[in-house]
Amino acid sequence: MALEVATRNALMTGLSERVDFRIGEYFNPLTVDEIFEVIVSNPPYVADGEAQVLDPEIRDWEPGDALFSGPDGLAALRRIATGAGLHLRPGGLLALEVGLGQAGYVMEFLEDTAEFVGVRVRQDLTGRERIVLAHRAMTD
Indicate if 73 and 105 belong to the same structural domain: yes
Q: Is 105 exposed, middle or buried (0-12, 13-18, 19+ CB in 10 A)?
A: middle
Indicate if 8 and 38 belong to the same structural domain: no
List per-residue pLDDT tens for the chain, 140 residues long: 678 888 999 999 998 888 888 888 888 888 989 999 999 988 878 778 777 787 888 778 877 777 878 889 888 999 999 999 999 999 999 999 998 899 999 999 999 988 999 999 999 999 999 999 999 998 75
Please give the model's pTM, rounded to 2 decimal places.
Answer: 0.84
Indicate if 59 and 128 belong to the same structural domain: yes
Range of the domain at 10: 1-30
CATH code for the domain of 59? 3.40.50.150
Q: How far is CA 114 from CA 34, 44, 109, in A?
A: 21, 25, 10
Indicate if 12 and 58 belong to the same structural domain: no
Structural domain tally of the chain?
A: 2
How far apart are alpha carbons 95 and 120 in whole angstroms? Answer: 10
Indicate if 117 and 95 belong to the same structural domain: yes
Indicate if 78 and 122 belong to the same structural domain: yes
What size, in residues, is the chain? 140
Q: Measured at the alpha carbon of residue 112, what is the angle toward residues 130 and 37, in degrees to the nearest 5?
A: 60
Is-contact 67 96, C-beta < 8 A?
no
Indicate if 131 and 67 belong to the same structural domain: yes
